[in-house]
Amino acid sequence: DTGVSQDPRHKITKRGQNVTFRCDPISEHNRLYWYRQTLGQGPEFLTYFQNEAQLEKSRLLSDRFSAERPKGSFSTLEIQRTEQGDSAMYLCASSQREASTDTQYFGPGTRLTVL
Amino acid sequence: AQSVTQPDIHITVSEGASLELRCNYSYGATPYLFWYVQSPGQGLQLLLKYFSGDTLVQGIKGFEAEFKRSQSSFNLRKPSVHWSDAAEYFCAVGASAAGNKLTFGGGTRVLVKP
């Protein structure tokens, strides 16, 4: 068990560019979550997948954001036409759906800076 | 809608002293509660969780938390703080035990004085 991994760890981009982040969950975890954390705040939920199905999206996830989990393993989060307000830490978490518990394990995050 | 409040933004504690971090939640049904710790620039590490049963929960690194339904609280405690405990601590509530999004509080930053 190598834990949740995210790539890249840091991304600096110019306003208007597109960026894509990748998350590899703990192997065999069937649930995958994306959160966004701005400076000095707690993480905020963006979206989650069970296997390849995207089951819930937050209203925070504007039309410029899209997430996929094509084979039910890794996931990507794309932000199109980035804005300075998108600067944040993007956290991925995974969990294994069990009968009575669901504990999310987080990756190290991708810190995005939009200039 | 669920919500979490951590009233203390910063806490400074001397090494070896006890620590208590407050967490109050709002949720209409049975809450599923978590404490995570985050070191600078890092992701979140799970300290402990409460789903049901004994209201005093033991976690890693010597932490414990007590669920008090009457007070809608889930406070985190440690009897003797180590310098390595300096970090930010987040309380979170889940909509159900079987998954779904977590709602986090704003966090409490803990500073440890030598």
CB-CB neighbors (< 8 A) of A3 in chain B? none
Q: Do A107 and B105 touch (CB under 8 A)?
A: no
Mean pLDDT of A25-36: 92
CB-CB neighbors (< 8 A) of B51 in chain A? 100-101
**Which residues lie closer than 8 Å to A26 by C-beta, 6 or more apart?**
A1, A2, A3, A4, A94, A96, A105
For residue range A60-78, what is the model confidence (pLDDT) as tens digits? Answer: 888 999 999 998 899 999 9
For A56, which of B96, B101, B105 is closest by C-beta distance? Answer: B101
CB-CB neighbors (< 8 A) of A108 in chain B? 42-43
Q: How far apart are the first and last CA of chain A?
A: 36
Cβ–Cβ pairs < 8 A, chains A and B: 70
Q: Quick one: which of A10, A20, A35 has its CA closest to A79?
A: A20
Q: Do B97 and A43 touch (CB under 8 A)?
A: no
Q: Do A58 and B101 touch (CB under 8 A)?
A: yes
Amino acid letter, residue B40: P
Q: Which of B39, B42, B44, B50 to mutate to test the interface with A (most CBs of A within 10 A)?
A: B44
CA distances A80 to A44, A62, A69, A113, Å, are 19, 10, 18, 14
CA distances A20 to A9, A76, B96, B108, Å, are 12, 7, 30, 31
- pLDDT surpassing 70 at residue A99: no
Is A90 in the B-facing interface, judged by CB distances under 8 Å? Answer: no
- pLDDT surpassing 90 at residue A13: yes
Amino acid A67: pLDDT = 96
CB-CB neighbors (< 8 A) of B36 in chain A? 106
Amino acid B98: pLDDT = 53
Q: Do B94 and A102 touch (CB under 8 A)?
A: yes
For residue range B17-57, what is the model confidence (pLDDT) as tens digits? Answer: 999 999 999 987 778 899 999 998 788 999 999 988 889 99
Q: Do A91 and B43 touch (CB under 8 A)?
A: yes
Amino acid B99: pLDDT = 57
Q: Do A43 and B49 touch (CB under 8 A)?
A: no
